[in-house]
């Protein structure tokens, strides 16, 4: 089965549809901000163990990095929907800002030279 690519706008729409039909309603923006921090923490736990110096406790189940990243994205979509942010437009503007502001910044950084 072929999966169709999804846009950021499409992801926001799917999250909104799910919230309104299955999730009953959005949590408040403040609650969703706290949930976002929880999800980022779960992502950080896996990163520290898979790519950092920490290790899993004996018998502890390994985390699912992709699933945790998707959880972060889900809650971010919720917050964007609640605050009227079009993530696709915001991302394009942010990318343009970085391309202008940082066009040579990293190339000129001696700390990044091989």
Pair of tokens at residue 44: 């950080």
Pair of tokens at residue 75: 């809650």
What's the CA gap between 23 and 98, in Å, rounded?
Answer: 36
Domain-embedded: residue 1: no
Q: What is the CATH number of the domain that holds 16?
A: 1.10.287.1080
Domain-embedded: residue 53: yes
Domain-embedded: residue 95: yes
Taking only the tens place, the pLDDT of each residue in 33-52 is: 999 999 999 999 999 999 99
pLDDT confidence tier of residue 113, bands split at 50, 70 and 90? confident
Number of structural domains (the chain) is 1
CB 38 within 8 A of CB 16: no
Domain-embedded: residue 3: no
For residue 50, the enclosing domain spans 8-112
Widest pairwise Cα distance in the chain: 53
pLDDT confidence tier of residue 63, bands split at 50, 70 and 90? very high
What's the CA gap between 8 and 13, in Å, rounded?
Answer: 9
Domain-embedded: residue 86: yes
């Amino acid at each position: 089965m072929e999966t169709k690519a999804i846009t950021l706008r499409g992801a926001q729409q799917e999250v909104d549809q799910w919230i309104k039909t299955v999730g009953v309603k959005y949590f408040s923006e403040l609650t969703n901000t706290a949930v976002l921090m929880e999800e980022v923490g779960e992502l950080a736990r896996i990163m520290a163990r898979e790519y950092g110096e920490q290790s899993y406790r004996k018998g502890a189940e390994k985390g699912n990095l992709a699933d945790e990243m998707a959880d972060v994205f889900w809650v971010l979509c919720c917050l964007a929907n609640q605050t009227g942010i079009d993530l696709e437009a915001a991302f394009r503007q942010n990318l343009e800002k970085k391309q202008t502001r940082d066009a040579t910044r990293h190339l000129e950084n001696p700390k990044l030279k091989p």
